[in-house]
């Protein structure tokens, strides 16, 4: 039976917190990294004029990221820093990329919204709503032919639920029995539009079920619930039964760093931010004695120092040289076009 967040509460036996400490650590790293990304922007050290934070969505990133294995691939949307970090990315190289520096994952060319790294299976973030979704269909087909049990995961926001490419991709994945999982991080807002103003049917997993996929919706408050639900879907996907998972959470801040979210009532923000997966995990660890508060305080300070170091690393890193402008754009051996600035300098030098 499909379980989802709106079902009536069912009594469950007490769960072990043996894995929760590690999940908390990973969520805290994502949270702190995102806070430092916001600081980088305010300091005027980030590349470009816009970036999007995923604070409040940590359980989705860590719940899925902790289950991915070598060989798995994934795509993310414009709010994908946390997902990549949860997958094992180096925060120094990530911060350097966001700062547009040469030591970043894409040599500073991708910035916040177009980070990619084939070494970790990251097929690329995409600033186009739903733009990264179809790539996992191709990756899933390649995985099926290879027969090694790898999956490809598409991460996107609830705004992409209104994009036709999602349904075409889910239909193909179901039709071809591909090892693919579609993950909608439903943070309740597509830019400034609340989800109930964009769609009448909010049981998003039912749309996937209608196309023949396994479909689930899970409350993102408890990362253990997210992980358990994702585990079942991933296990099936590895066997050729594609799935869809909607993780219900709340976007703590505006659409982008400059957005002060005037479209949200103060009560809405207060109630939404109370659904904090990081604080929930921390309270659970303290509550059952798994980890005393001072231990968690020490962990938090270590993570803060790590992410402070990431900012220092990014700021100290070199800008990419102008000569690298066309690197990775043209095929190896193909002549690169002459940059306009170089051409002007060459022409002026003749006078």
What H or E segment, with its residue span, contains residue 283? helix 277-287
Supply angle C-alpha 86, 117, 134, rounded to 5. Answer: 90
* pLDDT value at 13 more than 80: no
* pLDDT value at 302 more than 90: yes
pLDDT class for 11, splitting at 50, 70, 90? very low
| pLDDT of 6 | 38
Q: Are 60 and 226 in contact (CB under 8 A)?
A: yes
Supply angle C-alpha 90, 94, 99, rounded to 5. Answer: 150
What average pLDDT score do residues 157-185 get?
97
What helix, strand, coil percent values describe the chain, rounded to 5? 45, 10, 45
Q: Are 186 and 177 in contact (CB under 8 A)?
A: no
What end-to-end distance do the CA atoms of the chain give, in Å? 78
φ, ψ (nearest 5 deg) of residue 182:
-100, 125
pLDDT class for 202, splitting at 50, 70, 90? confident
* pLDDT value at 7 more than 50: no
| pLDDT of 17 | 56
* pLDDT value at 15 more than 50: no
What average pLDDT score do residues 264-286 get?
93
Residues in a beta bridge with 193: 190
What average pLDDT score do residues 142-170 get?
96
pLDDT class for 316, splitting at 50, 70, 90? very high
Higher pLDDT, 110 or 2: 110
Kindly list the domain boundaries of the chain, sorted by start residue: 20-349
* pLDDT value at 34 more than 60: yes
What average pLDDT score do residues 238-258 get?
92
Higher pLDDT, 123 or 347: 123
* pLDDT value at 215 more than 60: yes
According to CATH, the topology of domain 20-349 is Rossmann fold (3.40.50)
Measure the CA–CA gap between 252 and 32, rounded to whole angstroms: 14
Q: Give alpha helix (H) positions in 155-245.
A: 164-175, 205-210, 223-238
What average pLDDT score do residues 334-348 get?
86
| pLDDT of 336 | 84
Q: Structure tokens of 36?
A: 């430092």
Q: Does the CA dihedral 7-9-15-18 come out positive or negative?
A: positive
* pLDDT value at 1 more than 80: no
E strands, 69-179, are 73-76, 122-125, 152-157
* pLDDT value at 69 more than 80: yes
Of 51-65, 88-102, 325-339, the least confident:
325-339
* pLDDT value at 319 more than 60: yes
pLDDT class for 18, splitting at 50, 70, 90? low
Measure the CA–CA gap between 91 and 95, rounded to whole angstroms: 6
Instruction: Report the greatest alpha carbon distance in the chain.
Output: 84
Residues 22, 286, 28, 70: what is their CA dihedral angle, to the nearest 10 degrees? 10
pTM over 0.75: yes
* pLDDT value at 326 more than 90: no
| pLDDT of 8 | 33
What average pLDDT score do residues 261-284 get?
92
Of 78-92, 150-164, 217-231, 262-276, the least confident:
262-276
Sole residue written with tokens 């003749």: 350
| pLDDT of 129 | 93
Q: Structure tokens of 224?
A: 């253990």
* pLDDT value at 265 more than 70: yes
Higher pLDDT, 190 or 160: 160
% of residues, the chain, pLDDT over 70: 95
Residues in a beta bridge with 156: 184
């Amino acid at each position: 039976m499909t379980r989802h967040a709106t079902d009536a509460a069912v009594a469950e036996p007490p769960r072990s917190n043996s894995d929760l400490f590690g999940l908390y650590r990973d969520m805290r790293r994502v949270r702190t990294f995102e806070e430092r990304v916001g600081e980088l922007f305010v300091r005027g050290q980030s590349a470009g004029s816009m970036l999007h934070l995923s604070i409040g969505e940590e359980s989705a990133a860590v719940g899925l990221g902790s289950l991915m294995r070598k060989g798995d691939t994934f795509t993310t949307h414009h709010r994908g820093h946390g997902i990549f970090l949860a997958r094992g990315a180096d925060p120094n190289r990530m911060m350097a990329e966001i700062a547009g520096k040469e030591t970043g994952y894409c040599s500073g060319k991708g910035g916040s919204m177009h980070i990619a790294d084939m070494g970790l299976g990251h097929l690329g973030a995409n600033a186009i709503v739903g733009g990264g979704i179809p790539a996992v269909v191709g990756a899933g087909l390649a995985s099926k032919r290879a027969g090694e049990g790898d999956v490809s995961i598409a991460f996107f926001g609830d705004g992409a639920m209104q994009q036709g490419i999602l349904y075409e991709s889910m239909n193909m994945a179901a039709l071809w029995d591909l090892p693919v999982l579609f993950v909608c991080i439903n943070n309740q807002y597509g830019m400034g539009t609340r989800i109930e103003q964009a769609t009448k049917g909010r049981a998003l997993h039912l749309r996937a079920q209608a196309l023949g996929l396994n479909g689930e919706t899970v409350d993102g408050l408890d990362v253990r619930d997210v992980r358990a639900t994702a585990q079942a879907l991933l296990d099936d996907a590895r066997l050729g039964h594609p799935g869809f998972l909607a993780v219900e959470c709340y976007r703590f801040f505006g659409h982008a760093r400059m957005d002060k979210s005037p479209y949200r009532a103060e009560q809405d923000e207060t109630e939404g931010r109370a659904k904090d997966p990081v604080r929930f995990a921390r309270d659970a660890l303290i509550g059952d004695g798994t980890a005393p508060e001072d231990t968690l305080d020490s962990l938090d300070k270590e993570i803060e120092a790590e992410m402070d170091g990431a900012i220092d690393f990014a700021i100290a890193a070199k800008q990419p040289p102008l000569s690298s402008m066309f690197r990775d754009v043209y095929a190896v051996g193909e002549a690169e076009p002459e940059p306009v600035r170089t051409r002007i300098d060459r022409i002026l030098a003749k006078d």
